[in-house]
């Protein structure tokens, strides 16, 4: 199988380093004319010179400009010309305690990680659809699904990017243009090295620091190492090629098995359990969600049971109505705040012999 992007022009934002540089290099090696982007013109020219020194046949153009602003976006697109392949790679990240993230930081993360991509898609998608071929690839992150406690503003922005990709894929339906996002896992870049050292002992050698970071902060990774940028770029090159013509509206994972799921969460929209909650308009039902227990109202439970990750009602006797008759436990919808919900779930743990035992642990909440 050979990926041939000859005759196609690609724009890769934030491509002077890290994942973006690897993507630009891989697309150029596949025959594409690639616009290298960064805010500083001298940095862009330096990268182009280095890449051409490695392979003089690479067709590279300088497209310096700040794509987080409308004026900068216009400058970059003027330098690039018609875009056949748009890779929205630009992004910022950093660890900040949740309660310390300011309004300005929330806005900055949205502007850079989401709105810049939206602006470029709006500018390039009409031309792609008119020509009957195009590829839009938004570089998201495992953090879009597994929100990291140390940077929830970053996770929010990457979750939003998944929605952007899916929405524009619908806009481009039937045109020959595909729009996808790539869920990149923890990747070895210069910026990530700084991030890793912000969370582990800075005196550790890099190999030890990397292992400590993965062990403590990303233990669910099946790869058990950081991903190399070229591994992300290989997937992007495939999705950018004619070989991926049937893949659109997808969130494609290159995460080293970090996301603990085998089925997309949007998969099962007609779960048969959904209707079983209609007979409990005022009760709280406990369900198992991705290995965790939570207390939810019946309407939320109905919605939740449409998701593939919901498989088991913790207490079948609750669904059968036994608890309301035997113990009188009937919690009003909305009566539980998050702390009360946690208590309720603890009371409904698997070591409870029956619903009456669970109810006895919740005297303040029982009706």
Residue pLDDT, tens place only, 43-102: 999 999 999 999 999 999 999 999 999 999 999 999 999 999 999 999 999 999 999 999
Q: How far is CA 153 from the centre of its chain?
A: 12
Domain range summary for the chain, segments of one domain joined by +: 9-187+227-254, 272-360
| pLDDT higher than 50, residue 307 | no
Residues 6+ apart with CB under 8 A from 241: 3, 4, 5, 30
109, 154, 238, 258: the catalytic one is 154
Residue 128 or 296, more confident? 128
Is residue 154 flagged as an active site residue? yes
Give the model's pLDDT for residue 288.
Answer: 38
Residue spans of alpha helices (H) in 132-277: 152-171, 190-199, 206-217, 229-239
Beta bridge partners of 35: 11, 61
Give the model's pLDDT for residue 310.
Answer: 36
Is the pTM value of this prediction over 0.75? no
Beta bridge partners of 313: 287
| pLDDT higher than 80, residue 268 | no
Q: Would you state the CATH architecture of domain 9-187+227-254?
A: 3-Layer(aba) Sandwich (3.40)
| pLDDT higher than 50, residue 276 | no
When mean pLDDT is compared across 75-89, 157-171, 274-288, the lowest value belongs to 274-288
Residue 223 has which token pair? 């790869």
Q: What is the mean pLDDT of residues 177-188?
A: 96
CB atoms within 10 A of CB 292: 8
């Amino acid at each position: 199988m050979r990926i041939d992007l000859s005759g196609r022009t690609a724009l890769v934002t934030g491509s002077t380093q890290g994942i973006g540089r690897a993507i630009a290099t891989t697309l150029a090696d596949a025959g594409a004319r690639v616009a290298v982007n960064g805010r500083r013109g001298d940095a862009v020219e330096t990268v182009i010179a280095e890449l051409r020194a490695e392979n003089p046949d690479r067709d590279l153009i300088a497209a310096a400009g700040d794509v987080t602003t409308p004026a900068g976006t216009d400058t970059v697109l003027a330098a690039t010309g018609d875009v056949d392949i748009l890779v929205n790679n630009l992004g910022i990240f950093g660890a900040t305690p949740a309660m310390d993230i300011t309004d300005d930081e929330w806005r900055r993360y949205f502007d850079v990680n989401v709105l810049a991509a939206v602006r470029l898609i709006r500018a390039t998608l009409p031309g792609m659809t008119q020509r009957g071929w195009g590829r839009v690839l938004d570089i998201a992150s495992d953090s879009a699904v597994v929100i990291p406690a140390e940077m929830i503003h970053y996770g929010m922005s990457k979750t939003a990017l998944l929605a952007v990709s899916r929405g524009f894929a619908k806009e481009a339906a039937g045109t020959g243009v595909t729009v996808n996002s790539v869920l990149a896992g923890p990747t070895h870049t210069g910026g990530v090295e700084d991030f890793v050292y912000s969370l582990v002992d800075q005196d550790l050698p890099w190999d030890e620091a990397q292992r400590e970071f993965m062990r403590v902060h990303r233990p669910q990774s099946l790869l058990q190492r950081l991903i190399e940028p070229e591994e992300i770029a290989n997937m992007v090159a495939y999705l950018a090629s004619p070989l991926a013509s049937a893949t659109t509206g997808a969130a494609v994972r290159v995460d080293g098995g970090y996301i603990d799921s085998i089925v997309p969460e949007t998969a099962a929209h007609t779960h048969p359990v959904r209707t079983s909650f209609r007979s409990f308009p005022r009760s709280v039902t406990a369900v198992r969600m991705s290995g965790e227990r939570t207390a939810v109202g019946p309407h939320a439970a109905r919605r939740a049971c449409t998701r593939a990750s919901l498989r088991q009602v913790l207490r079948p006797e609750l669904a059968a109505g036994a608890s309301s008759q035997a113990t009188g436990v009937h919690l009003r919808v909305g009566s539980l705040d998050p702390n009360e919900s946690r208590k309720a779930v603890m009371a409904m743990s698997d070591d409870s012999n029956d619903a009456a035992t669970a109810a006895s642990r919740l005297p303040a909440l029982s009706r």
